[in-house]
Amino acid sequence: MPRRFALKDIYSENRLFLSRIVIIFIVILLLVSALIARLIYLQITGHEYYASQAHNNRIKISSLPPTRGIIYDRYGKILADNIPSYSLELTPELIPDITETLTRLKHLLNLSEETLTQFKKQLTRHRSFDSIPLLLKMNDTTVARFAVVQHQFPGVDIHARLIRHYPYGKIAAHLVGYVGRINETELKTLSTTRYKGTHSIGKTGIEKTYEGQLHGKPGHAEVETNAQLRPIRVIKSAAPIPGENLHLTLDIELQNIAYQAFKNHNGAAVAIEVATGDVLSMLSHPGFDPNPFSSGISTKAYKALQESDRKPLFDRALRGQYPPGSTLKPFMGLAGLQYALTQINTPLFCPGYYQLPNVSHRYRDWKTWGHGFVTLNDAIVQSCDVYFYDLARTLGIDRIHHFLSQFGFGQKTGIDLIGEKSGILPSRNWKRQHKNLPWYPGETLITGIGQGFMQTTPLQLAVATATLANQGISIRPHLIKPAKASQPKPITEKVNIDPAYVSDIINSMINVVHTPKGTAYKLSQNINYKIAGKTGTAQVFTVKQKEKYDAEKLKEKLLDHALFIAFAPANAPKIAVAVIVENGGHGGTAAAPIAKKIITQYLNKTSHND
């Protein structure tokens, strides 16, 4: 056909169309024949077979959901188990008029409008022959009230189900996590067979991370029924395989001590067993009660949690990112020693400020009038900023970045919890990528005292402290012993440092707690062991040049974050701790006592066990 003018050639179009209709007609006849052939096969050839099947067809298959694995702490205390509870469930297909049934149920059981809206949402997601829970947790009164009139509600049944229960509630809510109703997004990626009959799934923490182990496998039962559908006997059943029980490295008593120690402050504390990488305690304060989530939390209660100023749902230990402040100084000092830029007794004069050559800007020390002549040891004990400004300048950002990254700063620790943050360890590259700016020398100085761009999570800080206590051997932290869970072995890496330098730094950290000039000297009272520690204060806002910081003038919200890292016993470290108290003021007064309580409890307990 000539295409140049693309004229409509009506006659050829008609012919073409007619031929296509004829072809379609033939295709349709063929397809209908295929259907009929199959029907003949089923209804004539297979009739006898299927008729006998139909006659015997009194067998209903029902799925048996698995029991979720129990979560224990390191001493076998139950952190999450399953308790029986009654739920009210509807099978839409068996209900003549669902709207009317819901209205009647609403009046009978005083259901809230929200419960109904929730249910209607579920209704659209399930197939009509599924049993869908309306109430996940019924109290005895509700059960009794419904049981009396159940015969008026075809398709509505009371089911006994197990629901998740957390005996310790908010003490370990972030870490253990909670289960909740399976939502639309999760439904998309779940195996429908594995989750048949299951309505909840791990949403956060261990419950989410180890969902695969905790869930188990459903079984099914083939039940013979009579013509009225009353079950007569179970013909065949495959029992569900319950989920694995998990034994965490967590010590819930220690966690509780930490929780109580925070009183009404916000913050986080992480304690790690130095030799193994076991996470002994990992607290984010304030907590929240995870129990309402498993029985279907109301939107109102959830919103209240979400919108609370104190952000109880936020896992500060895993996801909170704070400047490390002066807690970075032992690591900086170690870098200085390792690169042979200073020695533990090298003195420097601290006039209370530091200036880069040819720049008028004064980098202030927290002590306005200065520390006078200080050695590296003094600088750690008294937390002199000027010494570390100078050290940072001589090290340069590239060496700082390289050295600190060996301790895990700026990287995820790889703990077995979903959602960990990596913090920030700034470098030239990082700044180019994120700010599209070159690196300025002044930024090296403030990085040297753990301010500026640098951010760490409490978990990261605890891991770095444990690495230092462990002579530079870094062990990936974990909540489940790698041998028990099918996960890779902890990566053990050795930071390249001289043991002599490490003991220099550790001595200085002991002096922080055990010499009168130390910033955490108060801690040394009433203890029969030695703590190596370092205080820190992270600025929430920047104090302007020549302006004096007055803590009392500021509202608590603008107060500095208090930090403390420590390990003990200092000569043979067993436990490493990092504590952050938001807006707590000074690390020595706000954070260190919490760390001391954790350490004391742990050492007392383990020495009794020994």
Classify 439 as helix, strand or coil. Answer: coil
Q: What pairing do the DSSP bridges indicate for beta strands 156-165 and 78-90?
A: antiparallel
Gap between the Cα atoms of 535 and 331, Å rounded: 13
Q: What is the contact mask toward other proteins in residues 573 to 602, using x (rule: CB under 8 A)?
A: ------------------------------
Binder of other proteins out of 66, 89, 160, 188 (CB under 8 A): 188
Q: DSSP label at 279?
A: E
Element (H, E) at 333: helix 329-338
Query: Which residue, 64 or 70, has its beta carbon nearer to other proteins?
Result: 64
Gap between the Cα atoms of 378 and 529, Å rounded: 22
Binder of other proteins out of 31, 83, 359, 491 (CB under 8 A): 31
436 touches other proteins (CB under 8 A) = no
| Shortest separation between residue 18's beta carbon and other proteins, angstroms | 6
525 touches other proteins (CB under 8 A) = no
183 touches other proteins (CB under 8 A) = yes
Binder of other proteins out of 47, 428, 434, 435 (CB under 8 A): 47
Query: Which residue, 11 or 369, has its beta carbon nearer to other proteins?
Result: 11
Long-range (24+ apart) CB contacts under 8 A made by 605-609 are 605/251, 605/253, 605/254, 606/574
Q: What pairing do the DSSP bridges indicate for beta strands 231-238 and 246-247?
A: unpaired
Binder of other proteins out of 184, 547, 550, 610 (CB under 8 A): 184
Gap between the Cα atoms of 597 and 269, Å rounded: 11
Listed residue (222, 89, 206) closest to 159, CA to CA:
89
- Given a contact cutoff of 8 angstroms between Cβ atoms, the answer to whether 449 and 333 are in contact is no
Query: Which residue, 193 or 260, has its beta carbon nearer to other proteins?
Result: 193
Amino acid type, 176: V
Q: What is the contact mask toward other proteins in residues 89 to 128, using x (rule: CB under 8 A)?
A: ----xx-xx-----------------------x--xx-xx
Q: Which among 190-198, 335-343, 380-388, 447-455 is the span making contact with other proteins, rule CB under 8 A?
A: 190-198
Q: What is the contact mask toward other proteins in residues 229 to 268, using x (rule: CB under 8 A)?
A: x---------------------------------------
Judged by phi (left if over 0) then psi (alpha if -120 to 50, else beta), residue 456 lies in: beta
Q: What is the contact mask toward other proteins in residues 284 to 323, using x (rule: CB under 8 A)?
A: ----------------------------------------
Dihedral angle sign, alpha carbons of residues 290, 293, 298, 300: positive
57 touches other proteins (CB under 8 A) = yes
Dihedral angle sign, alpha carbons of residues 300, 305, 310, 314: negative
Query: Which residue, 63 or 507, has its beta carbon nearer to other proteins?
Result: 63
CA–centroid distance for 222 within its chain: 40
Amino acid type, 338: Q
537 beta partners? 562
Binder of other proteins out of 104, 165, 208, 220 (CB under 8 A): 220
Gap between the Cα atoms of 23 and 14, Å rounded: 14
Query: Which residue, 188 or 548, has its beta carbon nearer to other proteins?
Result: 188
Gap between the Cα atoms of 253 and 259, Å rounded: 10
43 touches other proteins (CB under 8 A) = yes
| Shortest separation between residue 426's beta carbon and other proteins, angstroms | 35
Query: Which residue, 52 or 571, has its beta carbon nearer to other proteins?
Result: 52
Q: Which among 14-22, 107-115, 383-391, 462-470 is the span making contact with other proteins, rule CB under 8 A?
A: 14-22
| Shortest separation between residue 3's beta carbon and other proteins, angstroms | 7
Classify 129 as helix, strand or coil. Answer: coil
- Given a contact cutoff of 8 angstroms between Cβ atoms, the answer to whether 101 and 113 are in contact is no
The catalytic residue positions are: 326
| Shortest separation between residue 54's beta carbon and other proteins, angstroms | 4
Burial of 436 (0-12, 13-18, 19+ CB in 10 A): exposed
129 touches other proteins (CB under 8 A) = yes
Q: Which among 70-78, 184-192, 203-211, 469-477 is the span making contact with other proteins, rule CB under 8 A?
A: 184-192
| Alpha helices (runs of H) in 90-169, residue ranges in sequence order | 98-109, 113-125, 140-149
Query: Which residue, 65 or 286, has its beta carbon nearer to other proteins?
Result: 65
Number of residues that bind other proteins (CB under 8 A): 63
Burial of 454 (0-12, 13-18, 19+ CB in 10 A): buried
**Residues for the chain: how many in total?**
610
Query: Which residue, 236 or 435, has its beta carbon nearer to other proteins?
Result: 236
- Given a contact cutoff of 8 angstroms between Cβ atoms, the answer to whether 344 and 377 are in contact is yes
Binder of other proteins out of 112, 150, 193, 503 (CB under 8 A): 193
83 touches other proteins (CB under 8 A) = no
Listed residue (66, 72, 81, 138) closest to 105, CA to CA:
138
- Given a contact cutoff of 8 angstroms between Cβ atoms, the answer to whether 509 and 532 are in contact is yes
Binder of other proteins out of 7, 160, 437, 483 (CB under 8 A): 7
Gap between the Cα atoms of 594 and 266, Å rounded: 12
| Shortest separation between residue 190's beta carbon and other proteins, angstroms | 7
| Shortest separation between residue 123's beta carbon and other proteins, angstroms | 11
Query: Which residue, 25 or 373, has its beta carbon nearer to other proteins?
Result: 25
- Residue 207: count other Cβ atoms within 10 Å of its Cβ: 28
Binder of other proteins out of 108, 158, 190, 341 (CB under 8 A): 190
DSSP string across 9-25? -HHHHHHHHHHHHHHHH
Query: Which residue, 21 or 551, has its beta carbon nearer to other proteins?
Result: 21
Q: What is the contact mask toward other proteins in residues 60 to 79, using x (rule: CB under 8 A)?
A: xx-x----------------
Tokens 């996590």 belong to 177
Binding site for other proteins (CB under 8 A): 3, 6-10, 13, 16-18, 20-21, 24-25, 28, 31-32, 34-36, 38-40, 42-44, 46-47, 49-51, 53-55, 57-58, 60-61, 63, 93-94, 96-97, 121, 124-125, 127-129, 183-184, 188-193, 196, 218, 220, 225, 227, 229
